[in-house]
């Protein structure tokens, strides 16, 4: 099998979020897919194959489990199709566990169309302040828990207790605050020890929760976001009724071959 490694949500290698991308002609057993993802040891490995109508089947695996939605590995897959595999149509359609996801190239970005997942407010979970070392202003939940804190420094300096976070009954924890930089609307970090990803460098799927939250809070539909992981990454978000557009750059780091 061919394998590519792509740094998503960045123009430069060694930044953004690395994802493995593996095009398939035939699907191996799920156990093999999971073993490959564990061997890659990246936050996500994407596998895709072409359908008879020209669309693609797309699945994502962390080193420990399959997930229903992953933004950066979707962007990475689109990048490989457009830039390495000769895809020449204006839009790619991926069939996934989260429905049909489309990606287009616009204004120098790959733009993904995802479902909008606004958080539902919940009381602050008992373990959360101890787990993150901060009492949040707001907590809400969808697939992931959104934790709104006062300032960017709180997000940047957080040192979460991964054992306590793993006990939360959600896939991941998104910690967010207003950005200090006036050219950026909000910042965030994402922790998902429950699925084998202590901290994800840049998380597209988290922005299906962040975008409706901040669009409502700021009264604007177009937003620029920055994820404050060590590698860092930029995302361009647009809230459209029950959908979210998430745009970013990508760059190929490596191309190789898997032998099993």
Q: Would you name the residues annotated as active-site residues?
A: 44
User: Nearest Cα to 151, choosing from 139, 141, 165, 137?
Assistant: 137
Q: Is 88 exposed, middle or buried (0-12, 13-18, 19+ CB in 10 A)?
A: exposed
* Residue 193: φ, ψ to 5°: -65, -25
Quote the tokens at residue 28. 């191996």
Count of all residues that appear for the chain in the document: 260
Place of tokens 């008879």: 52
Task: Let me know: does 190 contact 207? Beta carbons within 8 Å.
Answer: no
Task: Let me know: does 8 contact 111? Beta carbons within 8 Å.
Answer: no
Q: Report how far residue 153's alpha carbon sits from residue 151's, in angstroms, rounded to the nearest whole number.
A: 5
Q: What residues contact residue 106 under an 8 Å CB cut-off, 6+ apart?
A: 247
């Amino acid at each position: 099998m061919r394998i590519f490694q792509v740094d998503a949500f960045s123009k430069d290698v060694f930044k953004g979020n690395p994802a493995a991308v593996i095009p398939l002609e035939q699907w191996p057993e799920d156990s093999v897919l999971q073993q490959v993802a564990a061997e890659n040891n990246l936050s996500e490995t994407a596998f895709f194959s072409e359908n008879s109508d020209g669309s693609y089947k797309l699945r994502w695996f962390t080193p420990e489990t399959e997930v229903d939605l992953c933004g950066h590995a979707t962007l990475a897959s689109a990048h490989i199709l457009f830039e390495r595999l000769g895809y020449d149509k204006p839009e790619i359609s991926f069939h996934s566990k989260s429905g049909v996801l489309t990606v287009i190239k616009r204004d120098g970005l790959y733009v993904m169309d995802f479902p909008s997942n606004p958080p539902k407010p919940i009381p602050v979970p008992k373990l959360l302040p101890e787990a993150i070392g901060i009492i949040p202003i707001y907590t809400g939940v969808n697939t992931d828990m959104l934790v709104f804190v006062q300032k960017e420094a709180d997000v940047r300096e957080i040192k979460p207790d991964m054992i306590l976070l793993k006990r939360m009954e959600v896939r991941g924890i998104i910690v967010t605050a207003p950005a200090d930089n006036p050219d950026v609307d909000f910042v965030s970090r994402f922790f998902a020890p429950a699925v084998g990803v202590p901290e994800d460098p840049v998380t597209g799927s988290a922005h299906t929760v962040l975008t409706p939250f901040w669009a409502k809070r700021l009264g604007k539909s177009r937003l620029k976001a920055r994820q404050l992981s060590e590698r860092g990454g930029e995302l361009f978000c647009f809230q459209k009724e029950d959908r979210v557009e998430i745009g970013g750059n990508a760059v190929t780091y490596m191309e190789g071959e898997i032998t099993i």
